[in-house]
Amino acid sequence: MKFEGRPFFLESKPIERRIMRVSVGANLAVITFCAAYLILQYKSSGITWPYIVVGVLVGYLIADFASGLVHWGMDILGLAKLCLAAP
């Protein structure tokens, strides 16, 4: 697999760019909602900061591992260029 030096999105279709923008916007909205909920519910939960730090670190590591596993699987199966979201 050779890198051609051009970003992938330059060759994308308008529908693919719209889908990406909507997906990123939805993801940011969910992250904002969850962060606000956690901040508002912090005092009533009784959780201390060390548990939060450990939880964030473990969550990051699990998400990174899962993302790597998905990308590895797509590379192995040859599905790296397959676009499931656009027609």
Task: Tell me the whole-structure pTM to 2 decimals.
Answer: 0.53
CA distances from 6 to 20, 33, 84 (A): 18, 35, 22
List the pLDDT tens digit at each of the 87 positions of the chain: 555 666 666 777 888 889 989 999 999 999 999 999 988 888 888 888 899 899 999 999 999 999 999 888 877 776 555 555 554
**Which is nearest to 22 in space by CA: 78, 62, 57, 14?**
14
Measured CA to CA, the distance from residue 26 to residue 21 in angstroms comes to: 9
How many CB atoms within 10 Å of residue 86?
Answer: 13
